[in-house]
Amino acid sequence: MNDHSPAPAMLAKTETLVEALPYLQKYAGQTFVVKYGGHAMGDPELAKDFAEDVVLLKAVGINPIVVHGGGPQIGSMLKRLNIQSEFVDGLRVTDAATAEVAEMVLGAINKEIAAWINRAGGTAVGISGKDAHLVTARKVTRTTRDPGSAIEREIDLGFVGEPETIDRRILDVMTGQNVIPVIAPIGVGSDGQTYNINADTMAGGIAAAVGAARLFLLTDVAGVLDKQKNLLTDLRPSDIAGLTEDGTISGGMIPKLETCVTAVTAGVDAAVILDGRVPHALLLEIFTRQGAGTLVRA
């Protein structure tokens, strides 16, 4: 090594930058929808890393759209208010009081995430699906069958919604002005009613509506795990029904995978479930060969 040879640590850094080149070229101009889950939000250091990743995406010509959750935070507030809460297939049964609390808590989280991104040097604006009629919602229904019975019974989830229409114009205006949209998973019904929408479902709907190239769902597990707790790195839509039926996936993973399937079926190239507890998980996934989490492709 002569005096001009870079130190090994320096070489590793330049290699990482050069490794990113094909991804930077491939993704410039594309839209990525990133869902930031309530479980991945706990640590301020991770929130700062997440915000930096989003700002970096924007700086290299990718259009990030952030959709956030807040399930655990809604749960804590309901507990403090002594309001009982129950979930059916990963969806929170939502009566009028719960809808009010969900909208309030998600509104506060929305502004916090936008603030993190703004502090990292981006220009983020926080909105909910109710703003500019971005997302109109219809009521979700679920059915169940009692053990041994062939009769399907409808379960009333209250004000739980799913996107019915998505008007992307406000998102186009924002991204056109270099603004990063941060979206809370709340929608409005045709009757003006507020609906609580699962954040994964919301992110998938937005990704499909804007023709996103990628959908990232950041959560608190490494990805989808099989029964032996091994990471399933690659899934196809046809794999999902089996994983649900044999109980491999449950709870919040159900809407997550349903979302991935809906998104890739609607034309999103790939949906990735990845571990939001890993610092800069998003950058590692997007700009390195390493890849992480579970990738769902059509």
Ligand X SMILES: Nc1ncnc2c1ncn2[C@@H]1O[C@H](COP(=O)(O)OP(=O)(O)O)[C@@H](O)[C@H]1O
Which candidate, 203, 196, 221, 202, places its Cα nearest to that of 105?
196
Residue 20 corresponds to which tokens in the numbers above?
A: 């990113």
Which candidate, 216, 197, 191, places its Cα nearest to that of 282?
216
Least distance to ligand X2W, CB of residue 157, Å: 7
234 Cβ neighbours under 8 A, 6+ residues apart? 294, 295, 297
Residue 77 parent element (H or E): helix 71-80
- Residue 134: which of ligand X, ligand X2W, none does it interact with, CB under 5 to 8 A by kind? none
Widest pairwise Cα distance in the chain: 80
Q: What residues line the site for ligand X2W (CB under 6 A)? A: 37-39, 69-71, 74, 91-92, 102, 160, 185, 196, 198-200, 252
- Residue 109: which of ligand X2W, ligand X, none does it interact with, CB under 5 to 8 A by kind? none
- Asked if residue 40 binds ligand X (CB under 6 A), the reply is yes
Helix, strand, coil percent content, the chain, rounded in steps of 5: 40, 25, 35
The contact mask relative to ligand X for 89-128 (x = CB under 6 A, - = no) is -x--------------------------------------
Question: Which listed range, 26-34, 243-251, 259-267, 280-288, lies at the site for ligand X (CB under 6 A)?
Answer: 243-251
Question: CB-based burial of residue 177 (10 Å sphere; 0-12 exposed, 13-18 middle, 19+ buried)?
Answer: exposed
The binding site for substrate consists of 70-71, 92, 196
| 295 phi, psi to nearest 5 deg | -100, 130
- Residue 198: which of ligand X2W, ligand X, none does it interact with, CB under 5 to 8 A by kind? ligand X2W
Residue 74 corresponds to which tokens in the numbers above?
A: 């809604």
- Asked if residue 204 binds ligand X (CB under 6 A), the reply is no
Distance CA 217, CA 203 (A): 8
- Residue 102: which of ligand X2W, ligand X, none does it interact with, CB under 5 to 8 A by kind? ligand X2W
Least distance to ligand X2W, CB of residue 38, Å: 3
Least distance to ligand X2W, CB of residue 295, Å: 19
Distance CA 282, CA 110 (A): 19
- Residue 129: which of ligand X2W, ligand X, none does it interact with, CB under 5 to 8 A by kind? none
- Asked if residue 249 binds ligand X (CB under 6 A), the reply is yes
- Asked if residue 185 binds ligand X (CB under 6 A), the reply is no
- Residue 91: which of ligand X2W, ligand X, none does it interact with, CB under 5 to 8 A by kind? ligand X2W
Residue 15 parent element (H or E): helix 8-27
15 Cβ neighbours under 8 A, 6+ residues apart? none
For ligand X2W, which residue has the nearest CB? Answer: 69
Least distance to ligand X2W, CB of residue 47, Å: 14
The binding site consists of 70-71, 92, 196
Q: Which positions lie near ligand X, rule CB under 6 A?
A: 37-40, 69, 71, 90, 200, 219-221, 224-225, 248-253, 256
